[in-house]
Amino acid sequence: MAARLPAAPWRDVAIILGTAASLVLLTACSVRLFLSLPRLRRAVRHRRQHREMLRLVAREHERHEDVLILDHPVPVAYSLPARRRPIVVSTGTQDTLTPEEFNAVLIHERAHLRQRHHALLLMLDLVHALLPWPPTVRRAKTTLPLLLEMAADDVAVRACGSRTLVDALRRLATIPGVAGALGAAGPSTGALAERVQRLETVETGRPRHAARVAASVFATVAVVAPVVVAVATIASLSHVC
């Protein structure tokens, strides 16, 4: 019976290096989480305070049970995750938009809520707080908001047509962004211009699911890819050792 060969020295080195790398990664993630928790708490508190303020200054829309009306001349339209009246529009929005355009904006915001885009962005924020280094996470942080706006655009286009939505977006181009909310005008003027160009170059009324699928795939890859890489690395070390 052949004698068992002693373990090669490099296997011990691999175990030590793998353990050290795991500890470094765990420490880095813990530090990032510790540093990011105050910012995340502030964001949640700000959203709660925003909802409380709206209950004081806004009123319920007479015809739309999911809409709050804010008495303000500046056109504002956005949605916040909430059980009651999650969509906020101003009197300036109603005065600026035609009834068809106003309906397109509401459909856009309802698409955000129905497809849980706020949850996707929150999940991405948490992943970015823990693992900001992978390229997929950094890319998703800058690209996913635009993809989610395009996905909501597609829902509104199927219901109202691209011309109506484009006109509404152009009228709302000066809307300031609201922290923690998803607005029809989007996060920036550059993103809005890209959305308008896309809507004008795509066939009107044609059903499109590419943006929604791309947004879902992008968010999934951004979250799963770092985990898969870490698991594969640990598995390979286990096999070697």
- Band the pLDDT of 238: cuts 50, 70, 90: very low
Give me the pLDDT at residue 200, please.
Answer: 86
pLDDT digits (tens, 9 = 90+) for 95-107: 999 999 999 999 9
Per-residue pLDDT tens for 205-220?
444 555 555 555 555 5
Going by their DSSP bridges, the two strands 67-70 and 87-90 should be labelled as parallel
Q: What is the pLDDT of residue 235?
A: 47
Structural tokens at position 91: 């009197």
Ordered by start, the domain boundaries in the chain are 36-240
Q: Residue 170 is encoded by which pair of tokens?
A: 């152009």
Using the Cα atoms of residue 13, residue 14, residue 19 and residue 24 in order, give the sign of their dihedral.
positive
pLDDT at residue 211 in the model = 53
Q: How many residues does the chain have?
A: 241
The mean per-residue pLDDT over the stretch 162-186 comes to: 78
pLDDT at residue 43 greater than cutoff 60: yes
State the pLDDT at residue 159: 93
| Band (185; pLDDT cuts 50, 70, 90) | confident
**What are the pLDDT digits (tens) for 129-161?**
777 777 888 888 888 889 999 999 999 999 999
Contact between 209 and 154 under an 8 Å Cβ cutoff? The reply is yes
Q: Quick one: pLDDT at residue 176? A: 58
**The tokens of 99 are what?**
């009834």
Name which of 4-8, 166-170, 184-188, 189-193 the model is least confident about: 4-8
DSSP type of residue 84: S
Least confident of 9-13, 139-143, 181-185, 222-226: 222-226
Quick one: pLDDT at residue 213? 57
59 pairs with which residues across the strands?
69
Model pTM score: 0.71
Cα–Cα distances in Å, from 46 out to 38, 177, 221, 238? 12, 14, 29, 45
SS3 (DSSP) at 7: coil
Three-state SS annotation for 202-215: CCCCCCCCHHHHHH
> pLDDT tens across 4-21, in order?
545 556 666 667 777 777
pLDDT at 85 over 70: yes
Strand partners, 60: 68
Give counts: helices (H), strands (E), the chain.
Answer: 8, 5
Q: Residue 234: pLDDT above 50?
A: no
- Stretch among 2-6, 32-36, 134-138, 182-186 having the lowest mean pLDDT: 2-6
- Find the mean pLDDT for residues 169-186: 72
CB count within 10 Å of CB 76 equals 21
Share of the chain above pLDDT 90, in %: 28
Strand partners, 89: 69, 77
DSSP sequence for 85-109:
--EEEEHHHHHHS-HHHHHHHHHHH
Tell me: pLDDT of 80 over 60.
yes
